Structure 1
Amino acid sequence: MAQLLVLSSARGDGVALPALELLGHGVRQIPAEPAQLVNAPSADVIFVDARADLAGAKSLCKILTTTGLEAPLILIVTEGGLTAVSPDWGVDDVVLVTAGPAEVDARVRLAVGRGEKDQVSTRIQASGITIDESSYSAKVHGHPLDLTYKEFQLLHFFATHPARVFTREQLLSEVWGYDYFGGTRTVDVHVRRLRAKLGDLEQLIGTVRNVGYRLNVYEDDQSPARPNA
């Protein structure tokens, strides 16, 4: 059972999307006002009612998407309102107010499934390192790392290519880009800083003599000792 939140400016009783009342999901409906979003309950899927106020709904959708919304966003529209919807609304799906329970339930399931898939795809794990691509953060065995943006990029590149050896020139072009005019010593400096921040786990980034660097791959029972809590 999914938790659904409906944002509606319509007055009167009843849910903005009637089919929701015939399903087994938990449904909460609150006024479609920015002020209401501060204390809005958490939800697996958010529905925005655009039946009567397309301009207001579009503005609300943009607010939701620019404030880091994680839940999928589904727009409730009338047949005539479909022509006004465009990609810049930022919604994940559109459903007609006349849609039946089976269709609405299918859209909810698909939205939740896509959200779970996207959440998994933003996390990378390798040799005890967990990287969250969406927040540009990294942890080693649950301990957060205080990385600069370029250090994060370098660690991210290693983690997405575990055990592969890269020359300094390759790392420079892949992480810094072809238009970077600095020398390969930049790579050595950043590797050294990254190792220092890894502390006892500095050996995760291995040196291959006369070649370059790689991320060492360990099984769970072979990974380097965890830092003390």
Structure 2
Amino acid sequence: MSKKKMVKNVLTKLPHRWRYIGLVLTGSIILYTTCLFLPMEPLDINPTAVLTEGTSRLYGLHNFVSRLPKIQQDIITEETTEERDVREQRRESIKQSFLYGWNGYKTYALGADELKPLSNRSSNPFGGLGATLVDSIGTMLIMELDIDELLPLIENIKVKPDEQMSVFETTIRYVGGLLSAFELSNHPKKHILLDKAEEIGLALLPAFETAFGLPHYHFNLLR
């Protein structure tokens, strides 16, 4: 039997799924090799050029040009009285919506991670350190709301030694939330925010001591 027929027999015996996988891999290798050795002519762009008004191009590394449309809202330098009234009305509406949710949490679940709105009961899926409390501080600072009564609560947060914690949520919500609030605040006692972020971060460090350097998904200080 010739080698050609042997290869054909082997291929026909393979499941269809493996044939598709082999085809995709072969195509990917060919495409990658083509792109790798294909000579590319650099665009004639001055990387230090300043974008003129109305230009939608964004210059990046290696003369890359992005032609994505601009989505950022232009900063209003001048506005009419009506425009100012509309803006302030919208700002106040957003603030009142936040306060409605915050007052519910404050009344029924202050210090807990979350409030269950239908039962008005607290829930602690993120280690019980007060996720909503920490999340809200940065928002309150942006809205120019008082955080005096919250700082003692932040200072009293204690990492529970036998509580299952999500490494991801703890990093972005607790550590990130406290650091963001610290940067936004000019309160004389804002050091409480930084100190608590450091405390939680240090407690979380053992979660990163793994064989491959990837942190655990869930972490318990006693396990």
The TM tier, using the shorter chain, reads under 0.3
Normalised by the size of structure 2, how large is the TM-score?
0.25
Higher helix share: 2
Higher strand share: 1
Larger Rg: 2
Normalised by the size of structure 1, how large is the TM-score?
0.25
